[in-house]
Amino acid sequence: MNLPSTLGALRRSEFSESRMTTRRVKDEMRDNLIARLRDGGSIFPGIVGYDDTVVPQIVNAILSRHNYILLGLRGQAKSRILRALTTLLDAQAPYIAGCEIRDNPYAPLCKRCKQELARLGDELPIAYLTPDDRYVEKLATPDVTIADLIGDIDPIKAARDGQDLGSELTVHYGLLPRANRGVFAINELPDLAGKIQVGLFNIMQEGDVQIKGYPVRLPLDVALVFSANPEDYTARGKIITPLKDRIGSEIRTHYPATIEEGTTITAAEAWIDRGGLRMSVPKYVNEVVERIAFAAREDRRIDKRSGVSQRLPISVMENVVSNAERRAVRNDEKVVVPRIADVYAAMPAITGKLELEYEGELKGADLVARDLIRTAVAKTFDRHFADADLTQIVQWFDLGGEIQMAESAAAVEALAGLNGIQGLLDKAKQLGVGPKDAVEIQVSAAEFVLEGLHAHKRIGRSEERVFSAGEKPSKKQEVREDFPASRGRRSFN
């Protein structure tokens, strides 16, 4: 498609003057959204878990032509949603070539473009913006100035062009004017200083601003969207009342409501497909990793105001796969299959993402992380083995049986020892794993059964990953983690 390159050609094209002067960017987003709703397609592809909650509210805000704010804890896809707004913009948007603020060819705002239009007329050169060109994002920090957002007088430009400092031609435009005819997003809005927020709402509502004491009229065509964390209102800053009053809709985001939604997000975001060795991540491992985040969000030792980001299970899954990959490479295995031991090895991806309350600080992040993994394993185990009779396996340990399952143990060696535990591999069939499956898959499934029994305190496990009968706990006593080895111990390192 040959796009018009001059104003005269533009007048004779589909980009007519009547259409471009009356259809502002919010109208454009509204029209494209209505077309997408009619087609029945996904509004924001890749955004999971918001179809019945957040997305309808965003749709309403766009249909109402509102500036809006996404309010939610960290790791709730706020920035991703804002960036997805570019999919609601036209494929091409003509503007006056060389203009810093992407002026509409039919109704320019800046003085330079007005002069060029008067001088060149229909020969005025035209360029085009893609949807990505029309999205400008700024992370709010306390050091952001009004010059960063709105603009400032440029004395070098004035001296070079022989202009008076009070001339509009000496202005160096900030991010907001450069987002003209597009979407301007500010992340973590409360961190923006109050006096800068004043400059924002003035240009939002009245379309004018003062730069170094000189009044500049900029009736910008821009859709303003924001994100904020509720914790910021009290911890670091706040949104000033006049600005909140000018934001049309406040939309609250949330964490995944179900394990299935969480695993879908993690599977899409985590770097799992590494190339090289074949990768096979069992479903129960995916579920355990996701349940860690769910357990953390309910744990009283973790600060709920800070939240537990969805980045936690994503990072944990990447570490789990990496630990399994390391074991496979060292043991020359052909398939990378994560085990529950790899989840414990991924604790560094958990501890750094938890804000602990006083009780949690006393116990330490490592202990809290271990408890979360154990809880996640127990709940996942219940889902797969709720009605299973595992007495035979427990009795094997009660009669003195022991087995060490080091996280670095080769699958072939580990399977030889696991075969000696009566009924263990038969129970793995409830996970869809049979004797025809790869050795690595069988070992992972069998170890999950042992970890599930340990999580329910039916067998013990030491820090060296020795599974044994252990000491039976009383109602007021937890299972010890350091059980002595016995004569019948099997070790696979």
d(Cα 30, Cα 65) in Å, to the nearest integer? 7
Determine the pLDDT at residue 171.
Answer: 79
Where does the pLDDT of residue 196 fall: very low under 50, low under 70, confident under 90, or very high at 90 and above? confident
**What is the C-alpha separation between 448 and 70, in angstroms, rounded?**
40
Q: What confidence category does residue 481 fall into, taking pLDDT thresholds of 50, 70 and 90?
A: very low
* Distance in angstroms (rounded) separating the CA atoms of residues 137 and 143: 16
Q: How far is residue 324 from each of residues 106, 247, 263, 317, 363, measured CA to CA in Å?
A: 61, 48, 19, 11, 29
β partners of residue 68: 225, 249
- Average pLDDT of the chain to the nearest whole number: 88
Is pLDDT above 60 for 417? yes
Radius of gyration of the chain (CA): 30
pLDDT at 435 exceeding the cut of 80? yes
* Spatial separation of the C-alpha atoms in residues 237 and 402, rounded to whole Å: 57
Q: What is the pLDDT of residue 218?
A: 76
pLDDT band at 194 (very low <50, low <70, confident <90, very high): confident
The residue type found at 163 is: Q
pLDDT of 319 higher than 90: yes
Give the C-alpha distances (Å, rounded to integers) separating 447 from 119, 129, 255, 266, 478. Answer: 79, 56, 30, 23, 22
Interhelix angle for 311-330 vs 259-269, to 10°? 60
- 371 has pLDDT over 70: yes
Inform me whether the pLDDT recorded for 487 exceeds 60: no
Task: State residue 276's pLDDT score.
Answer: 81
Phi and psi at 134, nearest 5°, equal -95, 15
Q: Across residues 268-285, what is the average pLDDT?
A: 92
The pLDDT value recorded for residue 236 is 56
Q: Note whether 414 and 443 are within 8 A (CB).
A: yes
Condensed to tens digits (0 to 9), the pLDDT of residues 231-247 reads 755 455 688 888 888 89
Q: Nearest 10 degrees: CA dihedral of 479, 484, 488, 491?
A: 90
CA 287 to chain centre: 18
CA distances from 450 to 128, 424, 465 (A): 62, 8, 11
- Give the distance, in angstroms, between the CA of residue 94 and the centroid of all CA atoms in the same chain: 33
Nearest to 85 by CA among 109, 110, 55, 111: 55
Two tokens, residue 130: 């893609």
| Across 184-198, 306-320, 332-346, least confident range | 184-198
The pLDDT value recorded for residue 220 is: 86
Give the model's pLDDT for residue 63.
97
DSSP state of 190: G
DSSP string, 192-251: S-HHHHHHHHHHHHT-EEEETTEEEE----EEEEEEE-TTHHHHT----HHHHHH--EEE
- Sorted by sequence, the CB contacts under 8 Å of residue 321 that are 6+ apart come out as 270, 271, 272, 274, 279, 281, 336, 338, 342
Which of helix, strand or coil describes residue 387?
coil
With H, G, I as helix, E, B as strand and everything else as coil, classify residue 183: strand
Per-residue pLDDT at 167: 67
Q: What pLDDT is attached to residue 360? A: 86
489 residue type, one letter = R
Encode 147-163: b = buried (16+ Cβ within 10 Å), e = exposed.
bebbbbbbeeebeeeee
Residue 329 confidence (pLDDT) above 90: yes
Rounded mean pLDDT, 160-167: 67
Question: What is the rounded distance in angstroms from the CA atom of residue 406 to the CA atom of residue 404?
Answer: 6
Q: Which pLDDT score is estimated for 476? A: 42
Residue 477's pLDDT band, with cuts at 50, 70 and 90, is very low
The residues, any chain, with a CB within 8 Å of residue 311's CB and separated by 6 or more, are: 74, 75, 353
Is residue 362's pLDDT more than 60? yes
- Helices then strands (H, E): number in the chain? 23, 17
Q: Which residues pair with 183 in a beta bridge?
A: 135, 223
Give 484's pLDDT tier (boundaries 50, 70, 90).
very low
> Residue 472: pLDDT band by 50, 70, 90 thresholds?
low
pLDDT in tens, 123-142: 999 999 999 999 999 999 88
Q: Does pLDDT of 314 surpass 80?
A: yes
What is the predicted pLDDT for the residue at 483?
34
Are residues 365 and 354 in contact, defined by beta-carbon separation less than 8 angstroms? yes
Helix or strand holding residue 261 (H, E): helix 259-269
